[in-house]
Structure 1
Amino acid sequence: MSDTTESRFERGYRVLGEIDGDGGHKVVESLADIAPDFARYLIEFPFGDIYSRPHLDLRAREIATIAALTALGNASPQLKVHIQAGLNVGLNRDEIVEIIMQMAVYAGFPAALNGLFAAKEVFAAAQPVGN
């Protein structure tokens, strides 16, 4: 956890940057003209409150998030952001593929297929990382 003088928004914006870099900030900025309050909630609650809790590291949180978004089966844009975030926090491509494949057992083949296609797109757009 960080300095207690840091507001929820400040903490959330910092953690969002650690996880998603410019991609996360672009999502928030894209909401500014339609739902600025929602953009603030997006920073404060998930990133300022939940992601910054002490008992899981960011890598573990991204494993859980990739699994959950894959299982939903209807959140491809968010899944792509979090696949990139997984790479940003130390997951490798093989681990991400295994997380998504594991979801076939619990969420079905269509959800896992959609997740694998999302991963394929992210990997194709990402800089080579030697995996």
Structure 2
Amino acid sequence: MKRREFLKTGAKLGAVLTALNLGFSELLAKPSTKIKEITMNLTKIAKENFERLFGKQTPPLAKTDPEFFERYVNFAFDESLKFSSKLEEKQRLMLVLGALIASGGLSEFKIMLKASLNAGVKPEEVQEILYQSTPYVGMGKALEFILASNEIFKELKIALPLAPRANTTLENRQEKGLEIQRKFFGSAIDKGNAAAPNDEKHIRAFLSAHCFGDFYTRGGLELKFRELLTFVFVSALGGADAQVKAHVAGNLNIGNDRSILLATITTLIPYIGYPRSLNALAALNELSKAKA
């Protein structure tokens, strides 16, 4: 009996010591976390912009990678914004969503999607960005983002499916798409279609009917913004230099001037990096005059 009582007492004492140990470990851990948070040097503007979009709760990345987080937030939410004032906040957020889809940044997309919805971007606008991305990034990539967005919509109690916004039929989609192409690219579209070899004319027809007829004609986003969004898709993809030039021209023709395109490139830099941003800038410089 004495031996059993001793073992029970020993077990209880061991449990108490373990609990004290754990509590002591937590106390030791807390100061280092606070030090990291205190020494993180965010600018006033970056901090205000970040907290307005994401709230005041400290993100996990700020705890695990405070130096990285500090530089990212200061650059993306202060420095780059100083030179992209030509765009409204909602426009910037929607273009960032488009860039993240094209570049494959699913984790950041989910974070930015919630921030965008908090900032007033409508679910139907998000859905239109997702749908329009498909002919540029392909179904294999677009589907991941559509499914991730649907999960977030459900989490936020946004009922699915959203209201339909298609404005073409199977019979008129090609002609309606061709009409939009002419607005962007003028007579070059008809000349290109006429000059195309017979064995590839179906691809030209696909572009008119599917890419433009199925998506550009939809409700939910203005036509000028859709063309700006396409510039973002092809810029963020990389390796699509000819398409970037074509959509610089399309944007200039539809009324998105150099200042708008330059503000867009500036907005994208934190999310797609410098090589793709500089390629887009080179295309812009080739087709529009830089200010002295």
TM-score of the two chains, using structure 2 as the length reference = 0.39
Q: 1:101 to 1:36 in 2, by over 3 A?
A: same
Cα distance in 2 between the residues matched to 1:122 and 1:89: 14
Instruction: Give the alignment partner of residue 235 of structure 2, picking from 65, 70, 87.
Output: 70
Q: 1:104 to 1:27 in 2, by over 3 A?
A: farther
Q: Given residue 52 of structure 1, which amino acid in structure 2 is its aligned partner?
A: T
Cα distance in 2 between the residues matched to 1:110 and 1:90: 26
1:81-92 equivalences under 5 Å are 81-92=246-257
Q: Which residue of 2 aligns with 1:11?
A: 176
Q: Which residue of 2 aligns with 1:110?
A: 275
Cα distance in 2 between the residues matched to 1:28 and 1:100: 31
Q: Given residue 91 of structure 1, which amino acid in structure 2 is its aligned partner?
A: N
Q: Given residue 123 of structure 1, which amino acid in structure 2 is its aligned partner?
A: S
Q: 1:120 to 1:27 in 2, by over 3 A?
A: farther
Cα distance in 1 between the residues matched to 2:271 and 2:178: 33
Please report how far the alpha carbon of residue 70 of structure 1 lies from its aligned counterpart in structure 2 after TM superposition: 1.1
1:31-50 equivalences under 5 Å are 31-50=196-215
Cα distance in 1 between the residues matched to 2:176 and 2:206: 13
Q: 1:111 to 1:30 in 2, by over 3 A?
A: farther
1:30-54 CA-partner distances (Å, limit 9, x unpaired): 5344411111101100111111112
Aligned residues: 124
The answer for unaligned runs of 5 or more in structure 1 is 125-131
Please report how far the alpha carbon of residue 103 of structure 1 lies from its aligned counterpart in structure 2 after TM superposition: 1.8
Q: Which residue of 2 aligns with 1:57?
A: 222
Answer yes or no: is 1:97 the counterpart of 2:252: no
Cα distance in 2 between the residues matched to 1:29 and 1:42: 14
Q: Given residue 283 of structure 2, which amino acid in structure 1 is its aligned partner?
A: A
Cα distance in 1 between the residues matched to 2:237 and 2:195: 23
1:45-85 CA-partner distances (Å, limit 9, x unpaired): 01111111122111110121111111112111111111111
TM-score of the two chains, using structure 1 as the length reference = 0.82
Q: Which residue of 2 aligns with 1:127?
A: none
In terms of mean alpha carbon deviation, does 108-117 or 6-15 score higher? 6-15
**Partner SS state of residue 177, structure 2:** helix
Please report how far the alpha carbon of residue 2 of structure 1 lies from its aligned counterpart in structure 2 after TM superposition: 6.8
**Partner SS state of residue 87, structure 1:** helix
Q: 1:61 to 1:85 in 2, by over 3 A?
A: same
Answer whether contact 1:32 1:39 (CA < 8 A) is retained. no
The structure 1 segments of at least 4 consecutive aligned residues displaced by more than 4 Å after TM superposition are 1-4
Cα distance in 2 between the residues matched to 1:90 and 1:29: 27
Higher helix residue share: 2
Q: CA RMSD in A?
A: 2.3
Q: Given residue 97 of structure 1, which amino acid in structure 2 is its aligned partner?
A: L
Please report how far the alpha carbon of residue 8 of structure 1 lies from its aligned counterpart in structure 2 after TM superposition: 1.4
Q: Given residue 65 of structure 1, which amino acid in structure 2 is its aligned partner?
A: T
